[in-house]
Structure 1
Amino acid sequence: METLTHTLDSLWQVVLVGLLLGAGLPAIFALGLRALSTGDIAEDGTVRARPAAATAAGILCFAVVVVAIVAGILFIMKNFLDSTFGISVF
């Protein structure tokens, strides 16, 4: 019974991380694209500039995605970096 409890405890953590990284990062990227694509089209056909808040939100979304990707790569490479260059990342 203890093995089953331990397995289920680990399973929900894996599922949560998988959902956050598997669906969360693409969703954040999509929100960034959506924020950068805002802009009103006037009746005469000219496009008004997007609000500064939308630009900042888009850049923030892209920054979160880039930081998550770099952190993932560094996490995968932590043993190599430590043994080859003596850099202890995590």
Structure 2
Amino acid sequence: MDTVDSLWQVVLIGLLFGAGLPAVFALGIRFLLPGATTTADGNGVTRTPAALFAGLACFAVILVAIVAGILFIMKDFLAHDFGIHIS
């Protein structure tokens, strides 16, 4: 039963970081593309504030995942050299 418990955790993390983060990045790019709405003077296209917020939120998730991954990799180095213990 322990093997099955570990297996679903490995599969979930693999899907999250293997396919999930690139998908979130692609969504962030898509949200930041200008929409099809023309401005009042008819000169260009704009994006809605909600789309801008969603795009920036996607990139914030990516940034947090990158920092967390780097800290996870460096936790032994930080503990040994600087006394910073990351749980």
TM-score normalised by the chain length of structure 1: 0.84
Deviation at 1:41, TM superposition (A): 6.0
Which runs of no fewer than 5 residues in structure 1 stay unpaired?
Answer: none
- Mapping of residues 5-84 of structure 1, within 5 Å: 5-40=1-36, 42=38, 46-84=43-81
CA separation of 1:67/1:20 partners in 2, compared to 1, >3 Å: closer, same or farther?
A: same
Deviation at 1:19, TM superposition (A): 0.4
- Identity over aligned pairs, percent: 62
Decide which structure has greater strand share: 2
Deviation at 1:89, TM superposition (A): 2.3
Asked whether the 8 Å contact 1:40–1:47 carries over to 2, the reply is no
TM-score normalised by the chain length of structure 2: 0.87
CA deviations over 1:21-73 (Å, ceiling 9, x no partner): 1111111111100000132264xx73222111111110000000010011011
Q: Which has the larger radius of gyration?
A: 1
Among 73, 79, 86, the alignment partner of 2:83 is 86
The 3-state SS of whatever aligns with 1:68 is: helix
**C-alpha root-mean-square deviation of aligned residues, in Å?**
1.8
Which runs of no fewer than 5 residues in structure 2 stay unpaired?
Answer: none
